[in-house]
Structure 1
Amino acid sequence: MTRRSLTTFLGLPLLGFAAIIVVSCNESGGAGSVGISESDWPTFGRDLHHTRSNPVETAIGAETVADLEMRWEHTGTEVTSTPAVVGGVVYFADWAGFIYAKNVLDGSEVWTSQLEDSGVTSSLAVGEARIFLGDRRGWFHAIDRGTGDILWSVELDDHPNAGITGSPQMVDVVLDDGTIDPILVVGVSSGELSTEREEYTFRGSIVGIAQENGAERWRVYVTQDDETSGAGVSVWSSPSIDTERELAFIGTGQAYEEPASPMSDSLIAVNYRTGEIAWWRQFTANDVYRIFMPLPQGPDADIGAAPNLFTLDDGREVVGVGDKGGVYGVFDRSTGEEVWVERLGPGSHLGGVMAPAAYHDGRIYITSNLWPSGFDTEAVFVPMFGDPENTSELIALAANDGSEVWRTSIASPTIGGTLFANGVVYSAHTLGLVQAFDARDGELLWEDKVGESLASGPVVSDGLLFVTYGFSFIGIRGDTPGDPGGMRVYGLAR
């Protein structure tokens, strides 16, 4: 592992570019606060800090994980939604637009709902009374948690290629008069990079909307699509939230055309109360990439993984995130000052860090893909998942300084997030394999073949392991689902 200093642009509040891209809205609205138990997993990263760690799991551990066996399975079409587990019910959605609520113990149906004319690739956020999710056509929805009824739907972006790939975070905004305005923070992404056209027009954005009715509170565009910054810069990362600083941290993707936005391939800190940018840190400058773009192409070094928030031994509160260039960087949450940056691997268009890391007790558990062979152009640019050259590595880092604790090889790349629970690190891979490793040294403890393809992150809650499977590379093949998929639930042998 090679240490690398990150010397690209550090954006500061209200300077130039940042000042002109914030659009504020002041509509009123509100909803109830979120109530969950400590063992539940209500959102993509489980908590506001996106630790992807269950600190209270006691049943499945390093000594017992080898005894896992399948309890029940749901089968259907592709599911890239990481399951949400709250109050004895597991919630997930599929590419056909079905949203499921099932009893965690036996898979019996609580309710099933369906969106019209769209599927879901991202994960749900489960609140006290409502479930929130975005779809592949750029719409965002609120679902009644008890009945599955759709309460409201709003279009976050009317661009024909817009979609919601990242997962939302729920947070309560404290207004100046002391009242609470519960909002959702979510990014807007696009599949425009996979099209051929003379002019590209999509602009990535970060949006704050009311939980009550979907009313837009604020929006941050991360590129202008003009002579100062070209189109693109999808936001397919998911936000992490610091309530003390009132900041949401989220990553951005590459530009589709020149000139690349100074906020492309960046970690951005946004004040979630006002929509103002506090700071940003660009990992890769001048990155312009499209699938059908003539050579030379940019490195396509998006920050698609969700950031992790944690505290160092010296008390410094930091944010860390990895990029597809194969780098993980840690920064001061207040200022964006670099604390440390480590290169994990070479990176590539589909390589490096695509899956969010897990954090627990001073360690970061992260995968970095070794994915050199790219796309199969005869299969309409479907990634060559089965190529034996395409592998990954699971790495444990010391959070204080980025030093490597251990590293182990994985047979195929990872897209879904890493998970830590009770001394075990879980990782799921594109060829349908889920594996469990000893967090102390990376020893493989258990594995199972779940499906033929997989792009979600596993979840552990109350002695059960949940794994969803099935995908067609986030819809590049088109909008018609159909590949096998579903969810498998494991428990310890009885």
Structure 2
Amino acid sequence: RYADKEFKISPQTAPNLRLKWKFYAGKDITATPAIYDGTLYFPSWNGYIYAVKEDDGSLVWKQNLENLTGINAPGFVLNINWTVSRSTPTVAGDLVIVGIYGPAVVIGLKRTSGELVWKTTLDNHPAALITMSGTYYNGSYYVGTSSLEEGATIEQCCIFRGSLAKFDAQSGAIVWKTYMLPDNNNTRGEYAGAAIWGSSPSIDVNRNHVYVATGNLYSAPSHILECQERQSNQTKPTEPDECVEPENHSNSILALDLDSGNITWYRQLGGYDVWFAACNNASTPNCPPSGPIPDADFGEAPMMFTSYVNGTKKDMVVAVQKSGFAWALDRNNGNLVWFTEAGPGGLAGGGTWGAATDETRVYTNIANSGAKNFTLAPSNMTTTAGGWVAMNSSNGKILWSTANPSNSTSYGPVSVANEVVFAGSVDKMGSVYAINGKSGKILWSYETGGSVYGGMSISNGCIYVGHGYNDLLPKSTFSNTPNPLFIEFCLPNPERPVLGPKKLQLPVLKLERPVLPVGTTRSGPVPKLKFSVFLLLGTAHSNFGTARSTLPIYPSNFNKIAKMPLIKITKIPL
């Protein structure tokens, strides 16, 4: 979630972002869009996947996923009885690859038309689905599986096991698939859960690793439940836990070999954590012993970065849990380098869906779903809203915490470019924000008109985001979003100023010759000039100013300058 090649957007220019176009998608958009060669790719909760032009938002193609694939929705998703995707599409050469939000199917489409090329079932469990966005590298596609089985009743729960798979990107064939838990032989009462459900796998070319992180258990063997009863949930995540067996990779960060899928190293950071929805009610009988409070799921994949630790250069991965803790590990062996409680955890986070790093700082959302007191470092002020946090990448020290100005939760992932952090809010007005990466100061905001749950893509002075999240969450909590939109905001093009009641910044001109009619020359001192700049449309206008700048005005180029779009220059010799 780091746009390392973005230089137009900066803390100085971000306040100038303006709405460029809107695209009506029919239903909510929560996936972060993919951008490739002037085209944006994203799915909507109406069951379509879209390709639109980056420049003007016009439609290139759209495909109905159910009609395209013949896949029927399994009915596990509340309020959704049609086939949908909620993942960011991945561009892989001439293909676009994306996962289906139940059943757990991956599809490859022609990038230019959206026609189906292949489809592959990743997991046959009826509640399995794909929420993670995949990663393409060297002809292969990597993605994990999640499920909604933890919403089942106690009698029906649970046998699903999370896994990571490698596909041949051109054919859709599965090269390898690695489970995060021991085989339960489809028997209830054994290990189940450990879904892989957030952001995208990270690829470490030098070590031949792919990094992922996992969620909680849905169920565990009886001897593990008995162990937890004896322990009374007292073990800290930084210490070994007798109730966590070596093959239990729930609530873990893992490195897998790219070629074989074998687990190279892992670090379990949640301790015993067995949970499913029915046991959210404390009076429900026959529930397993309670796990950590708050939830220790990883709802995102680890991010790679390099920083100096005590003067030594170190390659690390970092991920943030729903518990609100950030964990940085050594990429060579999974050893813990630092950890920080970035903010309050909760059933829905804490950190979730995706943090970001520019290697100098690690940025995360804190959803604060439980509306706990959230201390805003470096001050002692508190909020019960969500917010965003920046940490020093070398040691995890919190540099700043900024509360969500809308006084709402902050579920969506963050993105960063050139020391500007972008984030959205699920408030009814659908606020989006640009935040100074150094200070945490809000630089810019815009009310999109519908809850923003997804992340923002950044490219060439523009940002892209969708809004709406009413299909899964109560409409009494969030806006009705009558016209769900996909939106582009851009910096003004210096050759075509954005019109509006803003003071225009005057160009500064350096005069090295007298401004005379074309074809006339003479020597002598340069006279001082004044000029006016007018917008031919809109209400903005400039004051008079003395002309001086690094752009020479000669007889040969004055006519060119005078013909700049929307600008009129009046010469007034003093």
TM-score, with length taken from structure 1 = 0.80
2:20–2:489 Cα contact (<8 Å) kept: yes
Measure, in 2, the Cα distance between the counterparts of 1:284 and 1:306: 15
1:64-463 alignment runs, 5 A limit = 64-75=13-24, 76-116=26-66, 117=72, 118-137=83-102, 138-172=104-138, 182-199=139-156, 200-223=158-181, 224-225=183-184, 229-237=190-198, 238-259=200-221, 262-293=248-279, 294-295=281-282, 297-298=290-291, 299=293, 300-313=295-308, 314-372=312-370, 391-410=385-404, 411-431=407-427, 432-463=430-461
Closer, same or farther: CA 474–277 of 1 in aligned 2, 3 Å:
farther
1:354–1:414 Cα contact (<8 Å) kept: no
- What is the CA RMSD across the aligned residues, in angstroms? 2.3
Letter in 1 for 2:339: V
Closer, same or farther: CA 122–98 of 1 in aligned 2, 3 Å:
same
Give CA-to-partner distance per residue, 1:330-352, whole Å, 9 cap, x none.
Answer: 11111001111111123121121
1:121–1:474 Cα contact (<8 Å) kept: no
Length, aligned pairs only = 417
Letter in 1 for 2:192: A
For residue 235 of structure 1, give the secondary structure of its aligned residue in structure 2: coil
Deviation, structure 1 residue 459: 1.4
Letter in 1 for 2:451: S
Moved more, 268-277 or 193-202: 193-202
Please list every run of 5 or more consecutive structure 2 residues that lacks an aligned counterpart in the other structure: 67-71, 73-82, 225-246, 283-288, 373-381, 493-497, 499-574
2:2–2:417 Cα contact (<8 Å) kept: yes
Moved more, 412-421 or 426-435: 412-421
Give CA-to-partner distance per residue, 1:66-111, whole Å, 9 cap, x none.
Answer: 2222111122201111011111111111122211111111111111
Letter in 2 for 1:216: I
Give CA-to-partner distance per residue, 1:251-300, whole Å, 9 cap, x none.
Answer: 11111122477211111111121010011111111101111115364343
Letter in 1 for 2:487: R
1:372–1:389 Cα contact (<8 Å) kept: no
Letter in 1 for 2:163: S
Closer, same or farther: CA 476–280 of 1 in aligned 2, 3 Å:
farther
Within the candidate set 54, 63, 66, 2:12 is matched to 63
1:346–1:370 Cα contact (<8 Å) kept: yes
Give CA-to-partner distance per residue, 1:187-228, whole Å, 9 cap, x none.
Answer: 000011122241312111111111111111111111233699
Measure, in 2, the Cα distance between the counterparts of 1:451 and 1:71: 16
Percent identity between matched residues is: 31
Measure, in 1, the Cα distance between the counterparts of 2:269 and 2:345: 13
Please list every run of 5 or more consecutive structure 1 residues that lacks an aligned counterpart in the other structure: 1-51, 173-181, 375-387
2:90–2:133 Cα contact (<8 Å) kept: yes
2:97–2:106 Cα contact (<8 Å) kept: yes
Measure, in 1, the Cα distance between the counterparts of 2:460 and 2:248: 44
Letter in 1 for 2:161: R
2:366–2:411 Cα contact (<8 Å) kept: no
Measure, in 2, the Cα distance between the counterparts of 1:97 and 1:447: 30
Moved more, 340-349 or 269-278: 340-349
For residue 123 of structure 2, give the secondary structure of its aligned residue in structure 1: coil
Measure, in 2, the Cα distance between the counterparts of 1:301 and 1:164: 20
Partner of 1:23: none
Deviation, structure 1 residue 483: 6.4
Rg comparison, structure with higher value:
2
Letter in 1 for 2:302: P
Partner of 1:38: none
1:355–1:414 Cα contact (<8 Å) kept: no
Measure, in 1, the Cα distance between the counterparts of 2:389 and 2:371: 22
Write 1 or 2 for the structure with the bigger share of strand. Answer: 1
Moved more, 239-248 or 360-369: 360-369
Deviation, structure 1 residue 112: 1.2
For residue 156 of structure 1, give the secondary structure of its aligned residue in structure 2: strand
Measure, in 2, the Cα distance between the counterparts of 1:312 and 1:209: 32
Measure, in 1, the Cα distance between the counterparts of 2:195 and 2:485: 27
Closer, same or farther: CA 336–452 of 1 in aligned 2, 3 Å:
same
Larger RCO (CA under 8 A, 6+ residues apart): 1
Closer, same or farther: CA 71–444 of 1 in aligned 2, 3 Å:
same
Partner of 1:24: none
Measure, in 1, the Cα distance between the counterparts of 2:271 and 2:471: 26
1:371–1:390 Cα contact (<8 Å) kept: no
TM-score, with length taken from structure 2 = 0.69
